[in-house]
Amino acid sequence: MTEMKRPEPPVSEISAPFWDATRSGELVFQWCVDCERVVFYPRTICPGCLGDRLEWRPSRGIGRVYAVTVEPRDTNPQFPLRAPYAVALVDVEDGARMLTNIVGCDPLTVTVGMPVAVTWEPLSDGRQLPQFTPTEGGGP
């Protein structure tokens, strides 16, 4: 029996700069030039002011867990032997909120407010999937 591979996120024309940056381990977000808001997930229009002048800026990739749930068992055959795992909303200090996994710790120890930093899971095409790991005090 062959091991199933993790499904990998698609790349669109709009998200390509985000995924290209992950190849070198850099987390980037779109920012609206007009209202100075972070825009995440990647899109063509700022949801705050409806402006279309967006640019990509690097992030330090640190934040705090906003909400978390732990999946106790594998329910998807495309993710074998990963359970238990923590799925979380992370508030990145730049203002983005990301749906992600918390890795590098016992999933049952992940708590709301926990400081985290970005870490990377390699994908088959050279991109990397941003995930987060606990830190001391909110920095790497």
* Confidence (pLDDT) at 137: 59
* Confidence (pLDDT) at 92: 98
Mean local confidence (pLDDT), 77-86:
75
* Confidence (pLDDT) at 136: 78
Using the predicted structure, report yes or no on whether residue 1 has a pLDDT greater than 60. no
Distance CA 60, CA 137 (A): 14
Distance CA 133, CA 140 (A): 9
Using the predicted structure, report yes or no on whether residue 46 has a pLDDT greater than 90. yes
Tracing tokens 């381990």 back to the chain, one arrives at 25
User: Domain coordinates of the chain in residue numbers?
Assistant: 16-134
Distances (CA, A) of 110 to 14, 23, 135: 32, 27, 11
Tokens standing for 65? 């867990």
pLDDT band, residue 140 (cuts 50/70/90): very low
